[in-house]
Amino acid sequence: MARPKFVLLPSHQLEAFAPLLGEAEHARVLAAARDARERFEGRAIWHVSSTLRGGGVAEMLRSLLPYVRGAGVDTRWAVLREDPEFFRLTKRLHNNLHEDPGDGGALGAAELAAYRETLRRSARHFERLIHRGDVVFLHDPQTAGLARYFIAGGATVIWRCHIGTDDPGDTALRAQRFLQPDVEAADLCIFSRRSLAWAGLDPDRCRVMAPSIDPFSPKNQDLDPACVAAILVAVGLAADGAEGAPGFSRADGSPGRVERRAEIIQDGPIPVGARLVAQVSRWDRLKDPDGLVECLASELAPADNIHLLLAGPQATAVTDDPEGGFVWSEVGAHRAVLPAPIRRRIHLAGLPMVDLDENGAVVNAIQRRADIVVQKSLAEGFGLTVVEAMWKRRPVIGSRVGGIAEQIVDGESGLLVDPRDPRALARAILALTRDPRRAAELGAAAHDRVRRRYLGVLRLAEYADLLTALEATAA
């Protein structure tokens, strides 16, 4: 059983947000930071998750926690490193909570015993680190079984669930029953959306809090067009000839440069004048990358200037997602059997994850190069890549499911379609490629919506209020 990885977090200053927030809102954030600093003096706030890279939870923590440290609060992040069998089981739970059968495996007594035994052993690594009075946030199904051990040690435990479905059926409910005794051990549960809260939990111990982004991170910071072009050349998606340099600012403010090539499947680079439709996500069947390939092949074939780019982490880089390699191979095999004129318009990219700042800069460049960003998820708890693309003023077409339907106001800050209707998706893509002015209007409105609702600094004040209320209740 490997020791958890303890992430070294930088410290970022809240003053950077002053130009993005109104005076009153910024003052509220600074006041919450002062209160939190005084309240948690001598104590720590922990976050425990299952992966350092490749998913929305990791991205959110990497964006948010440095500002908590910048506010003067001792904040720490630990990442579980369990064996592959444990992550196969928790991937099954992940899929089931989305009402998807996943690998079709059982969630019986044997699986529950293995899950709890793994986390019992994992809890030992924290015995001398988490103290009475500390606050621990446990993220998603992989960590829920730790709650009872940290509670016993005198910590306050909050389980944060980022996934689920609005309409749980038998499959989702069996996953909830599997986890519920461990989830109920926590002092509080937080869901990304109200409709995801489990019916069997005490509503007085459930809260709602949306994920958020850091607009200054390598994934979201401004990049000029020349830099975007140079980054795409550097990773192998575009032909040589870019005039700029593939540079960016790292999370700590130091200069960075994109140097690693991506794992690319394509017949040739993306043409300079092509209308590019891009989706950035894990290689996960619930993101339906295969459905996007089929949409281009069956519905967009006549529009020969439209290219599709599917990008995600290199398939073996996300330790808690054992299905990623299979999905990457499936999508590549589907593309390979298409006629050459269609195949040449489909580009697949597995992005290096060795340097997470560099990876973020590449995602940033891909989304900024895209004329349209899509998120064709079949199920989605929230979908952080949608907010990231909206921040970049991209017109986004998302599935009318889960958290995507809350981020996008249909027809105002993006478009929503039925994810199982490829013709509707194609119509939406064609409409925006034929009306650049409309696309730009949607992108501008999307950016403003993110500024008002989904910046990480806004969550800091919510967290401070939440912890204050929780301590008052406990007293």
Query: Rounded distance, CA 103 to CA 92, Å?
Result: 6
Residue 405 is assigned to a structural domain of this protein: yes
Eight-state DSSP code of residue 414: B
Cβ atoms < 10 Å from Cβ of 15: 10
Closest CA to 345 of 387, 385, 392, 295: 295
**How is residue 152 written in tokens?**
């016993």
Task: Based on the fold, state whether residues 197 and 271 are members of the same structural domain.
Answer: no
What local confidence, expressed as pLDDT, does residue 252 receive?
A: 86
Q: Write the single-letter amino acid at 19.
A: P
Query: Rounded distance, CA 472 to CA 358, Å?
Result: 43
What's the burial of 159, exposed, middle or buried (CB within 10 Å: 0-12/13-18/19+)?
Answer: buried
Query: Rounded distance, CA 40 to CA 344, Å?
Result: 56
Query: Rounded distance, CA 440 to CA 286, Å?
Result: 29
Task: Based on the fold, state whether residues 294 and 156 are members of the same structural domain.
Answer: no
3-state secondary structure of 4: coil
What local confidence, expressed as pLDDT, does residue 396 receive?
A: 98
Residue 218 is assigned to a structural domain of this protein: no
What local confidence, expressed as pLDDT, does residue 475 receive?
A: 56
What local confidence, expressed as pLDDT, does residue 444 receive?
A: 98
Task: Based on the fold, state whether residues 251 and 309 are members of the same structural domain.
Answer: yes
Q: Tell me the C-alpha to C-alpha distance, in Å, between residue 291 and each of 6, 13, 213.
A: 38, 42, 27
Task: Based on the fold, state whether residues 283 and 428 are members of the same structural domain.
Answer: yes
**293: Cβ contacts below 8 Å, ≥ 6 apart:** 308, 310, 331, 334, 335, 338, 346
Number of domains forming the structure of the chain:
2
Residue 217 is assigned to a structural domain of this protein: no
**49: Cβ contacts below 8 Å, ≥ 6 apart:** 57, 58, 61, 77, 78, 79, 80, 139, 140, 142, 143
Query: Rounded distance, CA 136 to CA 267, Å?
Result: 48
Task: Based on the fold, state whether residues 94 and 163 are members of the same structural domain.
Answer: yes
Query: Rounded distance, CA 245 to CA 32, Å?
Result: 40
Task: Based on the fold, state whether residues 27 and 64 are members of the same structural domain.
Answer: yes
Eight-state DSSP code of residue 309: E
Q: Write the single-letter amino acid at 16.
A: A
Residue at token pair 């509670």: 151
Task: Based on the fold, state whether residues 303 and 254 are members of the same structural domain.
Answer: yes
Task: Based on the fold, state whether residues 182 and 329 are members of the same structural domain.
Answer: no
Closest CA to 215 of 9, 414, 381, 19: 19
Residue 124 is assigned to a structural domain of this protein: yes
Per-residue pLDDT of the chain (475 residues; tens, 9 = 90+): 578 999 999 999 999 899 998 888 889 889 888 888 888 899 999 999 998 876 788 888 988 899 999 999 999 999 999 999 999 999 999 999 999 999 999 999 999 999 999 999 999 999 999 999 999 999 999 999 999 999 999 999 999 999 999 889 999 999 999 999 999 999 999 999 898 999 989 999 999 998 889 999 999 999 999 999 999 999 999 998 778 899 999 988 899 999 999 999 999 999 999 999 999 999 999 999 999 999 999 999 999 999 999 999 997 766 667 788 999 999 999 999 999 999 999 999 999 999 999 999 999 999 999 999 999 999 888 888 999 999 999 999 999 998 899 999 999 999 999 999 999 999 999 999 999 999 999 999 999 999 999 998 888 878 888 877 777 666 5
Task: Based on the fold, state whether residues 24 and 100 are members of the same structural domain.
Answer: yes
What's the burial of 2, exposed, middle or buried (CB within 10 Å: 0-12/13-18/19+)?
Answer: exposed
- Identify the CATH number of the domain in which residue 28 sits: 3.40.50.2000
What local confidence, expressed as pLDDT, does residue 141 receive?
A: 95
Cβ atoms < 10 Å from Cβ of 448: 14
**How is residue 260 written in tokens?**
């690693």
What local confidence, expressed as pLDDT, does residue 405 receive?
A: 93
Eight-state DSSP code of residue 125: G
What local confidence, expressed as pLDDT, does residue 474 receive?
A: 61
Q: Which residues pair with 455 in a beta bridge?
A: 213
Count CA atoms closer than 13 A to 17's CA, side-chain side. Answer: 30
Task: Based on the fold, state whether residues 341 and 244 are members of the same structural domain.
Answer: yes
Query: Rounded distance, CA 432 to CA 303, Å?
Result: 13
Provide the residue range defining the domain that includes 139.
Answer: 5-212+455-474
Task: Based on the fold, state whether residues 152 and 186 are members of the same structural domain.
Answer: yes
Task: Based on the fold, state whether residues 86 and 167 are members of the same structural domain.
Answer: yes
What local confidence, expressed as pLDDT, does residue 60 receive?
A: 87
